[in-house]
Amino acid sequence: MRTIAELNQHCGIPGIVSVVEGNGHLPKIRITSRAASGEIYLHGAHVTSWQPAGAKEVLFLSPHSLYQDGVAIRGGVPICFPWFGNKADDPQAPAHGFVRTKTWHLESVEHKRDTVTVRMFTESSKSTKKWWPSDFRLSYRASFGAELALEAIVTNTGDEPLSFEEALHAYYRVGDVTKASVAGLDGVQYLDKTDGFREKPQADEVVITGETDRVYLNTEGKLYLSDPVLQRRTMVIKENSRNTVVWNPWSEKAAAMKDLGAEVWKSMLCLEVANVGNNAVTLAPGEQHAMQARVKLG
């Protein structure tokens, strides 16, 4: 593993991109361009900040997040892979897979037309095969500019079919989640994880009135998060994603989470671009799959 100084020498761009020591002494890439500022950690390839020029921070990051090996950062955009939620055949396996708690390899940084693109990757190893026998390479591209563009690319590097679930588990900062709403899911069926995975229809916009944990089915359309308190609308554009997950833990569950806490749950709403459950992806040997999310204000 290269040192922070070596990473900065290899990928830093004077005045625009620097590799620095983040929380918990973990290396992170800090971006400041004319179009936006942002941050992404090598720990989990985890985007923790995106702030377009002239706007307030778009992503929520818990003030109680833990920054340590084997623990996911709470907030920003965690990457869930190769399963979502608990592993069906192994309750001891880490929730949402293992890549969000791994140190990724920094591949390259590029600055073009006021957009900074960071590329990282992780792949199968002895440590991953403790939990999952398959061979894979997962590449990630995060572009910070007037929009935030995220792309996860999975390649089956083995000689057997590869089946997996995936999600970009984005936490969005809101002024008050009870006053926010999400458009773009009207008429879509969803699985309600707070009610025994019962399938229900969505009517009109999504509003948060209690603990919310929903997996929307067979949806590929744009999402619109309206926030009257912060006076903005956030648009999420999905590609090669058949599921949308909407999550907020509400007060009681948030209070029980030591890396979140009772006082900040109103400031966040997760809108997750995903392929899970019946929409899990299967790749033949050598085949590749890319899932994308683009985030814009306005």
Residue with tokens 């057997």, as numbered in its chain: 160
**In the chain, what are the domain boundaries?**
4-297
pLDDT, position 233: 98
Q: 61 pairs with which residues across the strands?
A: 75
Which one is catalytic: 10, 272, 287, 289?
Answer: 272
pLDDT, position 2: 85
Active site residue 169: yes
Active site residue 239: no
The C-alpha atoms of residue 268 and residue 173 are separated, in whole angstroms, by 5
Average pLDDT over residues 32-55: 97
> What CATH number does the domain located at 4-297 have?
2.70.98.10
User: Measuring CA to CA, which residue among 104, 137, 122 is closest to residue 29?
Assistant: 104
**Structure tokens, 133:** 């026998």
Report DSSP letters for 114-139, one per residue.
TEEEEEEEEE--TTGGGT----EEEE
In sequence order, what are the residues at sequence separation of 6 or more whose Cβ sits closer than 8 angstroms to the Cβ of residue 263? none
pTM: 0.96
Do residues 60 and 171 touch, judged by C-beta distance below 8 A? yes
Spell out a b/e string for 124-156, using b for 16 or more CB atoms within 10 Å of the CB, else e. Answer: beeebeeebebbbebbbbbbbbbbbbbbbbbbb
Average pLDDT over residues 163-169: 98
Spell out a b/e string for 55-69, using b for 16 or more CB atoms within 10 Å of the CB, else e. Answer: eeebbbbbeebebee
pLDDT, position 298: 85
What is the per-residue pLDDT across 61-115, written as a single tens digit (0 to 9) for each? 999 999 998 899 999 999 999 999 999 889 889 999 999 999 999 999 999 999 9
Which one is catalytic: 6, 151, 169, 220?
Answer: 169
